[in-house]
Amino acid sequence: MNKKTWTAFSAIREQYRTWIEEFRRSLPHLGALQQDLADRRSGPAYRVETPIVYNEALDEVTSKDDIRFILVADNPGRREQAAENRRYLVGPSGKLAEKFFRENPSLGIDFRKNTLILNKTPIHTPRTAELAELCSLGGERIAQAIAASQKAAACFLSAFHEVLAPIPVWIIGYSEMRTGGIFETYTETIRTWYKRRPRRKTELFFYRHFSMNQFTIDLRQKSLAGESVEETLIRIGTAYRERILGE
């Protein structure tokens, strides 16, 4: 990054970190609700250690790093919220993402070195779908907090994108971004934000999630003969963007 880009990036990162801390303090009882949710599930038991997760990998970015694209996942899961991690996409989905880029060197991406990873909300749940159940447990206040977190996360995405552009932004897991979906608020916010920035909007690409190999299976099924991986990614990512944003 040049000096101007690095200064702007550092300022946004500090704003994002500060917002996470303030947001965490505003919801002192969230952890107890999340622990209740975790205890009810059939998967392995665990202790909720970080109710609202700031991606600490952001603090490892330096002015010498080459950030080539932004990836937006859903929300922090069991491994992401663990005190020993506090990083996004470090569970099974993250490993599948690493595998995909490792097996496609033509894209020129080292997933852990060239990627800025963000989420649609920093609020932890065991599984993304359980954000809806967390709303039921916590009532209107938690529902409003989740919506507010999505608005903020979308605004921080656009801020980082503007500073680092032109680079592609991959938004992974588009199914819950539809009307009535868990991430409807996130969709509405980026639709409004990027409508004012048509050049940046063309750098947005939407895909299936990496979990359970959805991303790779979808890519393989939709690839065309003679088309490079990059060309396939651009084509289907654009089609999904138009489907979700309606433009």
pLDDT in tens, 57-70: 999 999 999 999 99
What pLDDT score was predicted for residue 4? 96
Q: Which two tokens stand for residue 164?
A: 């680092």
Whether 19 shows a pLDDT value over 70: the answer reads yes
CB atoms within 10 A of CB 24: 18
* pLDDT value for 43: 74
Could you please report the per-residue DSSP string of 15-45? HHHHHHHHHHHT-TTHHHHHHHHHHHSSS--
Q: Which domains, and CATH codes, for the chain? A: 3-245 (3.40.470)
* Cα distance between residue 196 and residue 199, in whole Å: 9
Other Cβ atoms closer than 10 A to 224: 8
Counting Cβ atoms within 10 Å, is residue 107 exposed (0-12), middle (13-18) or buried (19+)? middle
* pLDDT tens per residue across span 151-207: 999 999 999 999 999 999 999 999 899 999 999 999 999 999 999 998 899 999 999
Tokens linked to 231 = 């060309």
User: For the chain, how far is it from start to end, CA to CA, in angstroms?
Assistant: 32
Q: Which residue has the higher pLDDT, 40 or 228?
A: 228
For 82-139, how does the pLDDT look when each residue is reduced to its tens digit (9 = 90+)?
Answer: 999 999 999 999 999 999 999 999 999 999 999 999 999 999 999 999 999 999 999 9
Question: What sign has the CA pseudo-torsion 56, 57, 60, 64?
Answer: negative
